[in-house]
Amino acid sequence: MPTPETEVSPEIAPEFAAEFAPAKINLALHVTGRRANGYHMLDSLVVFCGIGDRLRAEKAPGLSLRLTGPFADQVPEGADNLVLRAARATAQTAAITLEKHLPPASGIGGGSADAAATIRLLRRMTGATGPDADTILALGADLPVCLAGRPARMRGIGERLDPVPPLPPAHLLLVNPRITLPTPAVFRALARRDNPPMPATLPDWPDAAALARWLTAQRNDLEAPALAIAPGIGAVLDRLSACPDALLVRMSGSGATCFALFGQPAPAQAAAQAIGAEHRDWWVAAGPVLR
Ligand code: C5P
């Protein structure tokens, strides 16, 4: 049986392909307005973390999806599934396996990451060029940035992406108290929708401490409404704030996953172990910021 690593050239429509779907983290997320269609205008510094889902696809005459991994049972299997919707939008068939490691509906873009990885997989396997930008955005506001797959300043409702200064080496500890938060409810609970954007020009960040200092003056505007809906997030923020060497603690996206930023991998791993042992019911993971 050929494997993608040994016998299939990725350039010429391979029979198999695999993709990593990394967690998306909003280091800052400012809600700056609202469009007539109800979607919110954002200004966000988005990065990806070396923790994520894994997708594999094999050429097949029809479209199918197999779910594996620790969060497989929390992924919708029907027509709503974002992997299947993304595959249909690409107008290609394949037998896809999704190995689900990221907690769904948790502010780290799991569904969007999976849909973006599906599009990358199918493009690579078939040479397809679709779907177009509007279709991609309609799959989810985080889809464009997940498809780009590199650090970006995300504006509009998610469609406007600008490059950011090079990121310093940094590590993230992610903790989710196994609270699922519906994104629309968090946006609805916002007290203000016309908050200031990030500064027009982003500075250089020579190291993780400089990045954290700059981020301290930025915000996640969805943190307060998420906390109002799910006060349990407060315990996660407090616990992360107590980690030695944590440079910044914040919630990502619409929650409930929170992160601590570190300059080195060792304290992030040590904190992950300690928190995992204390809170066996929380989801805890640590990994590098992908640059
Ligand atoms: O596009 P996505 O499915 O990720 O968005 C989920 C929900 O979050 C939307 O239906 C909308 O209520 C809200 N949202 C928003 N403004 C954005 C992104 C999402 O209001 N920019």
Task: Tell me whether 0.90 is exceeded by the ipTM.
Answer: yes
- Judge contact between 193 and 154, C-beta under 8 A: no
Fold of 165-290: Alpha-Beta Plaits (3.30.70)
Q: Which among 43, 114, 142, 221 is annotated as catalytic?
A: 142
Split at pLDDT 50, 70, 90, the class of 79 is confident
Cα separation, 189 vs 204, in Å, equals: 34
- C-alpha 224: how far from chain center: 20
What's the pLDDT tens digit per position in 88-119?
Answer: 999 999 999 999 999 999 999 989 999 999 99
- 135-154 mean pLDDT: 97
* Beta-carbon contacts of residue 191 (< 8 Å; ≥ 6 apart): 224, 225
| Active site annotation includes 24 | yes
Ligand 1 atom 9 nearest Cα: 184
Contact 184 CB / ligand 1 (< 6 Å): yes
- Judge contact between 174 and 194, C-beta under 8 A: no
Ligand 1 atom 14 nearest Cα: 39
Nearest Cα to 258, choosing from 290, 230, 217? 230
* Beta-carbon contacts of residue 153 (< 8 Å; ≥ 6 apart): 43, 44, 45, 46, 161, 162, 163, 164, 198, 202
Split at pLDDT 50, 70, 90, the class of 8 is very low
CATH number of 16-160: 3.30.230.10
The annotation places the binding site for ATP at 103-113
Cα separation, 114 vs 98, in Å, equals: 8
Cα separation, 261 vs 263, in Å, equals: 7
Least confident of 43-47, 113-117, 123-127: 123-127
- 142-165 mean pLDDT: 98
Around Cβ 162, how many Cβ atoms within 10 Å?
A: 9
Split at pLDDT 50, 70, 90, the class of 12 is low
What's the pLDDT tens digit per position in 147-158?
Answer: 999 999 999 999
Report residue 9 as tokens.
């050239």
Q: Is the pLDDT of residue 77 over 90?
A: no
- Please, what's the b/e burial string for 106-123 (b: 16 or more CB within 10 A of its CB; e: otherwise)? bbbbbbbbbbbbbbbbbb
Q: Is the pLDDT of residue 1 over 60?
A: no
Domain residue ranges of the chain, discontinuous segments joined by +:
16-160, 165-290
User: Which element (helix H / strand E) includes 86?
Assistant: helix 82-90
pLDDT at 6: 45
| pLDDT > 90: percent of the chain | 92
Alpha helix ranges (H) inside 194-264: 208-216, 223-229, 233-241
Tokens 């609970």 label which residue?
189
In the reported structure, the alpha carbon of residue 202 is separated from the centroid of ligand 1 by a whole-number distance in angstroms of 25
Contact 142 CB / ligand 1 (< 6 Å): yes
Contact 158 CB / ligand 1 (< 6 Å): yes
- 76-91 mean pLDDT: 92
